[in-house]
Amino acid sequence: MSLQLRTLSFDANDPLRLANFWADALGWEIREGASGSIQLLPTDGTRFSITFLPADLAQKQDKNRLHLDLTTTSKDDQTGSVERLVALGGRHIDIGQRSDEPHVVLADPEGNEFCVIEPENAFLAGCDRLGSITCDGTRKVGYFWSEALGWPLVWDENEETAIRAPDGRGPFITWGPPVTPKREKNRLHLEFALSPGDDASVEIDRLVALGAKHGDAGQDVGDNVAMLDPDGNEFYVLISG
């Protein structure tokens, strides 16, 4: 048994504005979703969508535990991407990166951090525009998600881990220190569907045995179950819808 990654969800004060920004950043297509949500559908080899959910968010306190790394094909592509995304409402931010770092750190219009990666980056070579879902996290949470998804570990050094789909397509998901203290609900979270024929209660028990915990029952949506990974990050198991 294993889960299937269905969507990466952003909580957003203005879902349409944020969706338009990320549609340009990734080259994906916009589709209106349910209950005011906006969905981005991939136009490349990515197998999951991105969903922007309406939320009444307070001012952001901390750096997100999860951010996206965008690949580039040349220095001109990197420079042009940064200029275009700043013109669309992004901004340069300082999260402690060195001045000589080859990647560029930006925030989207609602302050969510992301990186525009240099074309020489060997780790993300061969990835589509969305190179990585990059997470602050412990080594154990990388092992947890490798088991939960059935994705192999492709990196496991110096307390950093990374997984990728077994066929080597789509973005990496990576974890590494330092782990940002968690004082509020994550603005970004992952949502997973059951594999065909799986029993929901058995799958939930399997995740708990691997180290997950049940989340706040008040955050359940219909039959969809809110859970926490071993580092306390929210995720959902989509049982209906």
Contact between residue 77 and residue 84 where contact means Cβ atoms under 8 Å apart: no
- 10 Cβ contact partners less than 8 Å away, ≥ 6 residues apart: 18, 22, 50, 51, 52, 53, 110, 112, 187, 188
**pLDDT at position 106, please?**
97
- What integer is the mean pLDDT of 86-91? 98
- Which residue shows structure tokens 């916009």? 30
Written as six digits, the tokens of 131 are 């190179």
Q: How far apart are CA 52 and CA 36, in angstroms?
A: 9
Phi, psi angle pair for 203, to nearest 5°: -65, -40
Strand ranges for 71-203 from DSSP E: 91-92, 104-107, 113-116, 130-136, 153-157, 160-163, 172-176, 188-193
- For 99, residues 6+ apart whose C-beta sits below 8 A from its C-beta are none
User: Looking at residue 6, what is its pLDDT?
Assistant: 96
Residue 158 contacts residue 34 (beta carbons within 8 Å)? no
Least confident of 58-62, 135-139, 210-214: 58-62
Alpha-carbon 168 to chain mean position: 18
Mean pLDDT of 46-63: 94
Question: If you average pLDDT over residues 121-143, what whole number do you get?
Answer: 97
Q: C-alpha angle 70/143/123, rounded to 5°? A: 30
Alpha-carbon gap, residue 81 to 72, rounded angstroms: 8
- Give the residues across from 133 on adjacent strands: 68, 173
Confidence of residue 223 (pLDDT cuts 50, 70, 90): confident
SS3 label, residue 52 = strand
Q: What is the pLDDT of residue 127?
A: 96
52 near 96, Cβ under 8 Å? no
* pLDDT reading at 219 higher than 80: no
Q: Where in the chain is the domain with CATH 3.10.180.10?
A: 4-176
Average pLDDT over residues 209-217: 90
Averaged pLDDT for residues 221-231: 87
Cβ contact 19:105 at 8 Å: no
Q: Is 38 helix (H, G, I), strand (E, B) or coil?
A: strand
CATH code for residues 4-176: 3.10.180.10
DSSP lists the bridge partners of residue 91 as 107
Q: Is the pLDDT of residue 74 over 70?
A: yes
pTM, whole model, 2 decimals?
Answer: 0.94
At 163 the pLDDT is 98
